[in-house]
Amino acid sequence: MDVFLDPANRQAYLDGFLTILKLTGASALLALALGMLLAACRVSPVPVLRALGAGWVHLFRNTPLTLVILFCFFGLYSAVGVEFSEDIHVNNYWLAVTGLSAYTAAFVCEAIRSGINTVPVGQAEAARALGLSFSQNLRLIILPQAMRSVVAPLGSILIALTKNATIAGVIGVAEASSAMKALIESNGDQTIAIFAVFALTFVALLVPVGYAFSALANRLVVRR
Amino acid sequence: MRIKRLAAIAAVAVLAFGAAACGSDSDTPSTPSGESPLVAKAKAGQLKFGVKADQPGLGLQAGSAYEGFDIEIAKIIAKGLGGDAAKNTYVTTVSANREPFIQTGQVDIVVATYTINDDRKKKVNFAGPYFTAGQDLLVPTASTITGPEGLDGKKVCSVTGSTPAKRIKEKYPKAQLQEFDAYSKCIEALNTGTVDAVTTDDIILAGYAAQSQYAGKFKLVGKPFSSEPYGIGLKLEDKAGCTKINEILKASVTDGSYKAAWDATLGKSGTPAPTLDVSKLTNCPA
């Protein structure tokens, strides 16, 4: 365990998890917004939008995240020239956020769509009878009810996203698993201890998230 | 039902233990005192070498076979221990698992661009060095970078958690360090112009630069800024084996097999064979 007594190593460990939290926070917000938009597309009356939503979900849900993030670096940045910042670390961070949120949005979309299916058809029909447009219907009647029934699945997606954020390491974002690799490289005799500390930190971070979302889901659920 | 299942599990466990016991018997052939267990293993054709699989010219897996300078050195060692080099088993190792592989006996000997240093010496024993590399830069042919001092504000690529990456962070903090999990991705980024330089040991860079698809595109800066003596790793307590391997290395210089190993692999890039300074071989502490 003395590997964590060295302040430099402790700093690397803390920085790694801080990066995970930053990646998760930014990606979660973007994925939620994008996921809602995609869900709206998938249930919209416009065929082109429905196809766009379905295409996005099928493409990102079925592609390994590592490939998505590598594509953000070698495709978006290297080949196409999408650059967020001159500073390579800031740039890589946002490239990773792009990949993570595009990928996670596909799962958020499907969760919300399943929530929409829990809203009784009569609700939408009544709203339409009152003269509400499709977007009013979605915003005021369907999504508020749908979101309350998918709090628990969204929690699972958030937990998965937090762990998935470690994949940002493949394009050089100094997240927790890169920090772990660096520590193991120079402290090969303490591999198990290093693994254990990193794994337990993830558990300690994510168990409360799981409980919080379960509690929230119970409070918000629409009882029918 | 439950009892039957338990009995079955117990039976399997006993079998596994029995097999393990047999295995360990045949794994450690009895050795005359003072002789390394490696000699008996070599004679039985059971030597397992840990090597790299992704470093052209040094240790590269092509299909099911391995090729490169490290592999040739492994063959010389097997022959010198009295075995048949054709019977060597090669196991792919990466930098982080070399010590554990030796300690747990998953490999007998590691020849994998393995720099001798004090931390590693606490866990494994090193014979050699059979080659001394140095950290250098690989840049596009037209680049104006002439050394690590010229990296200010430039993008330089290395592998996550590696010693070369650490050295850049500590000594040249003004360089922008891009890290990937493998050098092949760095070379790809260098090829597309996304990074300005790739850094690691010169010999590894030379191997990549010599690959046919990159011919003429890159050049080595040629100003090494570290010293990386490559050793041959083996079990910490095997002093006899360490001494024996050093003798084999000495003999390989005299009989020309060391130079032949170089010429057949890295020598193809046009770099003349290095002279192996036998006076610098380790004194094999046990």
Q: How far, in Å, CA of B126 to CA of A83, rounded?
A: 46
**Of A42-46, A100-104, A143-147, B42-46, highest mean pLDDT:** A100-104
Structure tokens at B182: 């493998």
Structure tokens at B12: 């399997």
Whether B135-220 and B37-133+228-276 are alike in CATH topology: the answer is yes
Angle between helices A88-118 and A151-164 (to 10 degrees): 160
Average pLDDT of span A20-30: 98
Cβ–Cβ below 8 Å for B96 and A181: yes
Structure tokens at B11: 């039976």
Lowest model confidence (mean pLDDT) among B44-48, B72-76, B267-271: B267-271
Distances (CA, A) of A38 to A107, A123, B11: 10, 21, 55
**DSSP code string of A55-97:** HHHHHHHTS-HHHHHHHIIIIIIIII---S-SSHHHHHHHHHH
- The answer to whether residues B243 and B237 touch, using CB atoms and an 8 Å cutoff, is no
CATH class of B37-133+228-276: alpha beta
3-state secondary structure of B144: coil
Average pLDDT of span B248-258: 95
pLDDT tens, residue by residue, B198-231 = 999 998 998 888 788 888 899 999 899 999 999 9
pLDDT tens, residue by residue, A79-90 = 999 999 999 999
- The answer to whether residues B261 and B72 touch, using CB atoms and an 8 Å cutoff, is yes
Domains of chain B, by residue range, sit at 37-133+228-276, 135-220
Residue of A nearest to B122 (CA): A189
pLDDT at B24 over 70: no
Cβ–Cβ below 8 Å for B180 and A170: yes
* Residue of A181, A187, A191 to mutate for B, most B C-beta atoms under 10 A: A181
Chain-centre distance for alpha carbon A21: 11
Residue A85 touches chain B, beta carbons under 8 Å: no
Q: Which residues of B touch A8 (CB under 8 A)?
A: none
Q: Among partner residues B95, B181, B188, which is closest to A185 by beta-carbon distance? A: B95
Q: Among partner residues A88, A89, A182, which is closest to B160 by beta-carbon distance? A: A182
Q: How confident is the model at residue A191 (pLDDT cuts 50, 70, 90)?
A: confident
* Residue of B113, B160, B174 to mutate for A, most A C-beta atoms under 10 A: B160
Q: How confident is the model at residue B126 (pLDDT cuts 50, 70, 90)?
A: very high
Counting beta carbons within 10 angstroms of the beta carbon of residue A1, is it exposed (0 to 12), middle (13 to 18) or buried (19 or more)?
A: exposed
Residue B144 touches chain A, beta carbons under 8 Å: no
Cβ–Cβ below 8 Å for B162 and A77: no
More confident residue, A224 or B265: B265
Cβ–Cβ below 8 Å for A78 and B189: yes
Q: How confident is the model at residue B4 (pLDDT cuts 50, 70, 90)?
A: low
- The answer to whether residues B42 and B74 touch, using CB atoms and an 8 Å cutoff, is no
pLDDT at B1 over 70: no
- The answer to whether residues A169 and A178 touch, using CB atoms and an 8 Å cutoff, is yes
- The answer to whether residues A182 and A12 touch, using CB atoms and an 8 Å cutoff, is yes
Residues, chain B, total? 286
Nearest-neighbour CA in chain B from A172: distance (Å): 4
Nearest-neighbour CA in chain A from B261: distance (Å): 29
Q: How far, in Å, CA of A77 to CA of B195, rounded?
A: 12
Q: How confident is the model at residue A61 (pLDDT cuts 50, 70, 90)?
A: very high
Q: How confident is the model at residue B26 (pLDDT cuts 50, 70, 90)?
A: very low
Q: Which residues of B touch A178 (CB under 8 A)?
A: 160-161, 179
pLDDT at B23 over 90: no
- What pLDDT was estimated at residue A94? 97
How much is the pTM?
0.80
pLDDT at A163 over 80: yes
Cβ–Cβ below 8 Å for B181 and A170: yes
Residue A7 touches chain B, beta carbons under 8 Å: no
Q: Which residues of A touch B169 (CB under 8 A)?
A: none
Residues 6 or more apart whose Cβ sits within 8 Å of residue B202: B133, B134, B135, B136, B220, B222, B224
Residue A81 touches chain B, beta carbons under 8 Å: no
Nearest-neighbour CA in chain A from B216: distance (Å): 22
CATH class of B135-220: alpha beta
pLDDT tens, residue by residue, B137-149 = 999 999 999 999 9
Interface pTM (ipTM) of the complex? 0.81
Q: Among partner residues B119, B160, B194, which is closest to A169 by beta-carbon distance? A: B160
**DSSP code string of B165-218:** HHHHHHH-TTSEEEEESSHHHHHHHHHTTSSSEEEEEHHHHHHHHTSGGGTTTE
Residue A135 touches chain B, beta carbons under 8 Å: no
Q: How far, in Å, CA of B157 to CA of A119, rounded?
A: 52
Share of chain B above pLDDT 70, in %: 88
pLDDT at B16 over 80: no
Strands B89-92 and B48-51: parallel
Q: How far, in Å, CA of B240 to CA of B127, rounded?
A: 10
Residues 6 or more apart whose Cβ sits within 8 Å of residue B265: B57, B58, B67, B68, B69, B71, B72
